[in-house]
Structure 1
Amino acid sequence: MTVRDRLLAVVVAVLWGANFIAIHVGLEHFQPLFLAGLRMLVLAVPTVLLVPRPRVPLRWLVGYGLGFGTVQFLFLFLGMYAGMPTGLASLVLQASGPFTLVLGALLLRERVTPRQWAGIGVAVLGLGCIALARAQSAALLPVVLTLLGALGWAAGNLCSRLAQRDGEAVDPLHLTLWMTVVPPVPMLAASAVVEGPGAWGDVVAMVTPDGVAGLVALVYLSLVATVLAAGIWTGLMRRYPAGLVAPHSLLVPVVGMSLAMVLLGERPSVTELVAGVVVVGGVLVASAPARRRVEVRV
């Protein structure tokens, strides 16, 4: 990778790490289900009007939207609303990497190397330590909800992969944008049932001085974290092997936890910090590309 593209990958990691701060701010102004649905609705409307629909099987497009766009953010937002610390959420969500490998092996019969299994085991050990530490403080539920969000991300990854495999000259960015068409209906329907129609009143509050922060958070979640960051990331993934680009995503929890400490005053325990290093190390081992054997001819 060129220096410029490495810097772009770091910029994306910073944008995605700051995304968790935006979620924290957004949840102070909106109900969680409503915010998750509104975030996608803001993108879905112009996508339907302006972006050509990718030629992929409908089942994979819907699966991508349900897994990545609905289940992931539904449980992530609920977890953070229930008390999951912002920085810790950015770390635990990295479980999507090992989950993707496991689901790929179970459902798609993809081969997982012994080194990848070892990395998965290390990551699970770290997550288990975090869960145990949280359970002792009666705060296990937010961790479980966030892990369910990571599982939804992993399922969305598989559907995205199958869509690009079975589709015709798929533009990954178009696929990502059309994914946003799926979540608004189930998200907003669930919001109407659980949170009530009063959740829409938060939209009106955005035009008041007290609601500006919520509006900024919504714009960041929809345009910056999704369109801008995903667009840059998609371009990098198309130019370079995934093994060169993907490890940069491990900077996301570093940025997320650092910003949460500086801006929100969060102070993770020593156990959580050590476990976080273990999780990131396990994900790095599991996601690293296999080494090619070099034949030496005499």
Structure 2
Amino acid sequence: MQGRDILLIITIMVIWGVNFVAIKMGASEFDPFVITALRFFFAAFPLVFFIQRPQVPKRYFIAYGTIFGTGVWGMAACSNSFGLSAGITSILMQFDVLTSVLVGALIYKEKITKQMAVGMVIAMVGLTVSIAYTNGNITPVGLIFIFIASLCWPLASIVIRQSGSTTPFAFTIWGMVFAPIPLLMLSLLMNGTEGIVTTFSHWNSHAWFSVLFQAYPTTVFGYWVWNKMTLKYPMALIAPTTLMTTVFGLIGGYVIYDEHLTQVQWVSCALFLAGIVVVVYPRKIRNTVSVSRSVSTES
């Protein structure tokens, strides 16, 4: 791998790690659905006017916008508003590797190898211990939301795969056009007009940072670079680099919010990530995981 590309990948991992702090900054102070809707609005507009629409039926854009916007990042934002720390969120989002394996087995009849099964067991043991020894950085409701988010990762990937699109970056941008709608509808359903009104009436610099950081460095720049890297290098080489987001997520949570892990959690989270590594590397990356990592990213 070229030195310039290594630097670009590390830069993206830093951005995606800090992004979990940006999500918490918005979700802990404002309606998480509104903040996430604005993230995708700014990410899609005006860029969508300069990117040719992939020639796929509109239903795929709608499905992707709903699953990726609401299912992944709407739920991730909710996990923060219900007490999950930014650092823990960055770790538990890696759970999408395990859900991708399970979805691949259930839908595409892909084989779960012995190595993958061992890695999944290791990861689950680490996760269980982290939950048992929480210092308040993991809450039951927050955990439910992050599990929903991790389950939606491979589902969003399936939508792109089924669409037949050969331009994943363009597809994601056009899909984001439809992401704000279900998010705002969910906000109205859960909070009435109060969530929207309160968010805009208390809008401040934290809201601007949260929305714009998620929209541009994380989503637009991050997707653009990551998709270029996936076209240039084998997924088996670059997919494990997304684990670096957890390091920068933990650092960001500590610096901005003074988040701490218990001593047992440090060990158990390391065990969880070690299990993830066993699952994804070294082996031939399967289609579902490849698509998940190449077009959905860890932002």
TM-score class, shorter-chain normalisation, is 0.7 to 0.9
**Aligned 8 A contact 2:36 2:74 in 1:** yes
Among candidates 180, 183, 188, match of residue 179 of structure 2: 183
Partner of 2:233: 240
Deviation at 1:225, TM superposition (A): 0.6
Partner of 2:292: none
In structure 1, how many angstroms separate the alpha carbons of the residues matched to 2:71 and 2:160? 15
In structure 1, how many angstroms separate the alpha carbons of the residues matched to 2:138 and 2:18? 27
User: What is the CA RMSD across the aligned residues, in angstroms?
Assistant: 2.2
In structure 2, how many angstroms separate the alpha carbons of the residues matched to 1:278 and 1:160? 32
**Aligned 8 A contact 1:67 1:154 in 2:** no
Partner of 1:296: none
Deviation at 1:179, TM superposition (A): 2.1
Partner of 1:263: 256
In structure 2, how many angstroms separate the alpha carbons of the residues matched to 1:30 and 1:136? 21
Superposed, 1:1-298 pairs within 5 Å as 1-134=1-134, 139-163=139-163, 166-167=164-165, 170-201=166-197, 202-203=199-200, 205-206=202-203, 211-290=204-283
Q: Given the superposition, is the C-alpha separation of residues 112 and 158 from structure 1 closer, same or farther in structure 2, using an over 3 Å criterion? A: farther
**Aligned 8 A contact 2:48 2:173 in 1:** no
Structure showing greater radius of gyration is: 1
Q: Given the superposition, is the C-alpha separation of residues 137 and 4 from structure 1 closer, same or farther in structure 2, using an over 3 Å criterion? A: closer
In structure 1, how many angstroms separate the alpha carbons of the residues matched to 2:130 and 2:36? 26
In structure 2, how many angstroms separate the alpha carbons of the residues matched to 1:189 and 1:229? 27
In structure 2, how many angstroms separate the alpha carbons of the residues matched to 1:136 and 1:76? 17
Deviation at 1:223, TM superposition (A): 0.8
Secondary structure, aligned partner of 2:46: helix
In structure 1, how many angstroms separate the alpha carbons of the residues matched to 2:42 and 2:251? 29
- Post-superposition Cα deviations, 1:192-246, rounded to whole Å, max 9, x if no partner, equal 222222333333544xxxx122112210011111001111111101100101111
Secondary structure, aligned partner of 1:130: helix
Deviation at 1:279, TM superposition (A): 1.4
In structure 1, how many angstroms separate the alpha carbons of the residues matched to 2:122 and 2:154? 18
Q: What is the one-letter code of the residue matched to 1:39?
A: R
Partner of 1:295: none
Secondary structure, aligned partner of 1:278: helix
**Aligned 8 A contact 1:100 1:158 in 2:** no
Q: Given the superposition, is the C-alpha separation of residues 254 and 116 from structure 1 closer, same or farther in structure 2, using an over 3 Å criterion? A: same
Q: Given the superposition, is the C-alpha separation of residues 127 and 56 from structure 1 closer, same or farther in structure 2, using an over 3 Å criterion? A: farther
In structure 1, how many angstroms separate the alpha carbons of the residues matched to 2:43 and 2:191? 22
Deviation at 1:58, TM superposition (A): 4.5
User: Identity of counterpart residues, as a percentage?
Assistant: 25
Q: TM-score, normalised by structure 2?
A: 0.87
**Aligned 8 A contact 2:28 2:80 in 1:** no
In structure 2, how many angstroms separate the alpha carbons of the residues matched to 1:268 and 1:244? 30
Q: TM-score, normalised by structure 1?
A: 0.87
Moved more, 38-47 or 53-62: 53-62
Secondary structure, aligned partner of 1:56: coil
Which structure 1 segments of 5+ residues have no match? 292-298
**Aligned 8 A contact 1:68 1:154 in 2:** no
Which structure 2 segments of 5+ residues have no match? 285-299
In structure 2, how many angstroms separate the alpha carbons of the residues matched to 1:264 and 1:137? 11
In structure 2, how many angstroms separate the alpha carbons of the residues matched to 1:90 and 1:218? 18
**Aligned 8 A contact 1:75 1:145 in 2:** yes
Q: Given the superposition, is the C-alpha separation of residues 256 and 108 from structure 1 closer, same or farther in structure 2, using an over 3 Å criterion? A: same
Q: What is the one-letter code of the residue matched to 1:99?
A: T
Q: What is the one-letter code of the residue matched to 1:118?
A: V
Deviation at 1:8, TM superposition (A): 1.1
Aligned length: 283
